[in-house]
Structure 1
């Protein structure tokens, strides 16, 4: 008899995913506002890009706590807290009179999304039958993926009509909808007993490391390495690793990094996010700066691809359930690599229509490989380690997403919108080739473990 997913479980997954949707929607919608924000607040593009980077950094830092939070608190309490924080941040961002308060609002939105993003995948793993995990990981991913589908077009349309502040106010519809769907459906999920206290020291060390690492990359615009940031990032990283190995408190299970099978998928997952969010920042800016496209059409360039990719994600999850990870991983990365190569070679000749077409194929390949890699990486782990695996995956991919936007803005600031677009595309192509080796390493290790 086929195992079914209850309506209550379905609605709870969608309700929690909507909070993540809200944060990513605001992040991608704000990308098309950078030229206007730069004028309104009388500052440069590299400073304004922190509207995106600050959000992604806040998400990243908050996700590091998710393995502890889902063991310590009920999923309902975490969901409600994320909604309250998100609505406060959204109102602050919409009313912000300066860049500092705008960034603070984005940070609050990031904290909320950082709670909700791993929570939705933990709910899927804990409540959905194993034979349908791939499909429902895809469906949860679809809700979140719809945000970058609509975000740039939504932001571009509002910037050209009601102004950039309306992006925040109208977005409040999403958390309100989440409350309506989840009030009677989001409840408790099975939790592992927790008899350890939260490791505040390890959390602080990792937060400082991630923040200073991004500041270090951001400072490269000056043409020199900031050795102070480098030293802080390096020292806190070493201290975090030492603390993670020796501490008796609860934070992230660093032993997962000793598993080659897990790491072989973790790195591609992070790189897919790095490349996608980097291009999501670069493409609208390139179209506006090089082809003088309007804010609306610059944002629209990403809509068809991300929208189609979002709706196809559950099908990619179903393909994983039926055929396993090999076909979607190899096929997805092949499509991804070919498109990135085409963009790198012809970037200076790509106007609005060719970019729309290429981005559609790019997202299909990316989502096919990314969804399968994430599902396999979590599903392969023991029950006691699934929450930690989810936290590590979400943390690294969001940090790499923040890094992608920073590198993208840096390349365009240093070499111009066209050269920056081309340079980032060539770099992405090299990373895509390297991912084939990591995927092959995963299957070799998987076969070895099965044989043993």
Structure 2
């Protein structure tokens, strides 16, 4: 690789990773700004939470379309497209006169994130030498691990000082810089087909399928599973995903080529990643509720629990990638899965009297496992695909794990609700010890998913 070509590759990868990191950060930043948004637009939290829900939904349904976009446009134009959606959303968000307009802004930003999420993986796997893909994927893992964890902290700091709209100003400034860097540093390659065809029925099926699953899972976090707002979207989502998968096997221009599943690496990586995201994403919601509920601590304490995990993600993600290139994926994934499982299992034994430092320690152990697994599972799972299938594999990885993360969260919240109901009266008499049982049951489910990751790492990764 010539120096100039290497420089263009590094510039492209840096721009894509930073853009994706900003998108992941934007997904969670509004969580701590929600109070200010609700106050400004005179809405309640039930309405306000749509700034988060709609982001997740749109991002999930955009990801599968990236395979078509990557065939239709050059990589440079695809980056410009993502930056354009992102910048437009930031400007609309800053000037939003009503809550509905703010939701539109979040839709635009979510489209951009949906484009860049699989793009990070595809660039890492196709633009770097094979012996350095692990390192590249580890660096890319920062966008999926560190950025979303730091989002609520940044959002809280800005909301308490300059107001929630200030985030969109800062974001717009960063995106202008990224736009200029793309124009100056990224080469326009001819790796696209202007005649690429979008199969519209496939697009509709994937949108309704993944959108239904994500919507149902999101509603399940606050509503019982018996509610039509939960089971109807989930049922329709599953039905349309089945139709989508069947159609991809028989049409000439599939939205996602399912030949990716012919790869042993991809199949194992697919299962392990889905278990990983189901295990750790739900805890980001359940653990703060546990800290502020049975433990009777403050919201600040709930945030402190995640601070070491955030720092860990920044360093362990790239380190794990470097180690994959040097010692291979098996050792790294087994160590990561061990940390994940031990950390998750430890929460099954915490109670209302558990000190804050103990909760923070075990969450840090879990975070080491998560950060050590995200990049290696991606790089190993995609390593069995040829270059032509890389974007298909990346997109389906991203779409599926987003759905599994939401379903894992919904199942944990459902357990807290179902297990908690029989103990509600007992908790009033026996105190917080009984009240902690539903959360321990949810932690047990997280542990089960973690064990699934460990089994795949032990059995399949070589």
Give the TM-score band, short-chain normalised: 0.7 to 0.9
Which whole-Å CA distance do the structure 2 matches of 1:422 and 1:428 have between them? 10
Q: How many residues align?
A: 442
DSSP-derived class of the 1:65 partner: helix
Which whole-Å CA distance do the structure 1 matches of 2:184 and 2:399 have between them? 29
In structure 2, the partner of 1:124 is 124
> What is the Cα deviation at residue 202 of structure 1?
0.6
1:396–1:79 distance in 2 versus 1, CA, 3 Å = same
> What is the Cα deviation at residue 321 of structure 1?
0.8
DSSP-derived class of the 2:350 partner: helix
DSSP-derived class of the 1:183 partner: helix
> What is the Cα deviation at residue 347 of structure 1?
5.2
Q: Which runs of 5+ in 2 are unaligned?
A: 422-434
In structure 2, the partner of 1:43 is 44
In structure 1, the partner of 2:160 is 160
| 2:110 counterpart of 1:110 | yes
* Cα deviation 1:348-372 (Å, max 9, x = unaligned): 3455433333222211111112211
In structure 1, the partner of 2:55 is 55
> What is the Cα deviation at residue 335 of structure 1?
0.5
> What is the Cα deviation at residue 3 of structure 1?
10
The within-5 A match list for 1:422-437 is: 422-437=440-455
1:403–1:185 distance in 2 versus 1, CA, 3 Å = farther
1:334–1:102 distance in 2 versus 1, CA, 3 Å = same
In structure 1, the partner of 2:374 is 370
> What is the Cα deviation at residue 203 of structure 1?
1.4
In structure 2, the partner of 1:293 is 298
**1:253–1:388 CA contact under 8 A, matched in 2:** yes
* Cα deviation 1:393-422 (Å, max 9, x = unaligned): 111122233444555666667759966654
Which whole-Å CA distance do the structure 2 matches of 1:137 and 1:177 have between them? 24
> What is the Cα deviation at residue 19 of structure 1?
1.5
Which whole-Å CA distance do the structure 1 matches of 2:241 and 2:33 have between them? 34
**1:218–1:406 CA contact under 8 A, matched in 2:** yes
User: TM-score under structure 1 normalisation?
Assistant: 0.86
**1:61–1:207 CA contact under 8 A, matched in 2:** yes
**1:123–1:189 CA contact under 8 A, matched in 2:** no
**1:26–1:168 CA contact under 8 A, matched in 2:** no
**1:12–1:186 CA contact under 8 A, matched in 2:** yes
Which whole-Å CA distance do the structure 1 matches of 2:45 and 2:107 have between them? 20
Which whole-Å CA distance do the structure 1 matches of 2:410 and 2:51 have between them? 11
> What is the Cα deviation at residue 208 of structure 1?
0.3
Query: In terms of mean alpha carbon deviation, does 2-11 or 15-24 score higher?
Result: 2-11
Which whole-Å CA distance do the structure 2 matches of 1:161 and 1:432 have between them? 39
1:363–1:230 distance in 2 versus 1, CA, 3 Å = closer
> What is the Cα deviation at residue 248 of structure 1?
1.2
| 2:144 counterpart of 1:171 | no
The within-5 A match list for 1:250-289 is: 250-284=254-288, 286-287=290-291
**1:3–1:129 CA contact under 8 A, matched in 2:** no
* Residue 322 of structure 2, aligned match among 311, 318, 322: 318
In structure 2, the partner of 1:449 is none
| 2:390 counterpart of 1:386 | yes
DSSP-derived class of the 1:263 partner: helix
Q: Which runs of 5+ in 1 are unaligned?
A: 447-452
Which whole-Å CA distance do the structure 2 matches of 1:103 and 1:202 have between them? 26
> What is the Cα deviation at residue 51 of structure 1?
2.8
Which whole-Å CA distance do the structure 2 matches of 1:432 and 1:160 have between them? 37
Query: In terms of mean alpha carbon deviation, does 315-324 or 23-32 score higher?
Result: 23-32
| 2:312 counterpart of 1:308 | yes
1:200–1:435 distance in 2 versus 1, CA, 3 Å = same
Which whole-Å CA distance do the structure 1 matches of 2:156 and 2:4 have between them? 41
In structure 2, the partner of 1:85 is 85
Give the CA RMSD over aligned residues: 3.1
User: TM-score under structure 2 normalisation?
Assistant: 0.85
Query: In terms of mean alpha carbon deviation, does 397-406 or 145-154 score higher?
Result: 397-406
